[in-house]
Amino acid sequence: MRKISAGLFIAADGVVESPDQWHFPYFNDEMGAAVGAQLGSADTVLLGRVTYDVFADAWPGRETAGGEDAPMAKALGDARKIVVSRSALTFTWRNSEQLQGDLLEGVTALKQENGGPIGMSGSISVVRALLAAGLIDELHLFVHPIAVGKGLRLFGASTEPLLLRLLSSTTFTTGVLHTVYGPAGQ
């Protein structure tokens, strides 16, 4: 069975919204390597529509430009990209397709297909739904030493606790804590 790993930039107060406004001062080679290992090694990338639009606007140009992040841009371009949306979509980035049907049924079927790891980045509502359903095998949280104060949090009010098990943790020189969680039952 294929494994899904999801990666999110998160502030110390739990905010995951708009990391473009607070994340970049903390980005360094350590984080780049960790993100590259989590997302760049996936042969399939599962994204919500908003995250897909941001990626499709940025990564193809970075691949063409040939800068230092061109290898990551190429890996993302070559990966199969599956986009979750309730609306019909048109794609301009190669290897992109829309998840058909119900989210949980579609992702369960995707995990049963032959292939390598499935990576996720951002896509908060999709991550929430898949976590609640027990479909995410690794949750990579890049906890930044900043309290943003307002914005969407990963873990909102819910009726059921989500039990997790710490698989690993690393502190980067910037103070970012990279924690990897799995389901508590594993």
In whole angstroms, give the CA distance from residue 22 to residue 159.
Answer: 30
Supply the pLDDT for residue 159: 63
Tell me the per-residue pLDDT of 1-18, one tens digit each, with 9 for 90 and over: 999 999 999 999 999 999
| Contact present, 117 and 43 (Cβ < 8 Å) | yes
Instruction: For residue 38, count other CB atoms closer than 10 A to its CB.
Output: 21
In whole angstroms, give the CA distance from residue 103 to residue 70.
Answer: 31
Supply the pLDDT for residue 56: 95
Supply the pLDDT for residue 156: 77
Strand 80-84 with 96-98, pairing: parallel
Tell me the per-residue pLDDT of 38-51, one tens digit each, with 9 for 90 and over: 988 899 999 999 99
Delineate the domains of the chain, giving CATH numbers in brackets.
4-183 (3.40.430.10)
- Return the structure tokens found at 4: 């899904």
Supply the pLDDT for residue 161: 83
Helix axes 70-78, 49-65, angle to 10 degrees: 130
In whole angstroms, give the CA distance from residue 11 to residue 14.
Answer: 5
Question: SS3 of 61, please?
Answer: helix
Write out residues in the chain with pLDDT < 70, as ranges: 158-159, 186
In whole angstroms, give the CA distance from residue 17 to residue 99.
Answer: 23
Supply the pLDDT for residue 162: 87
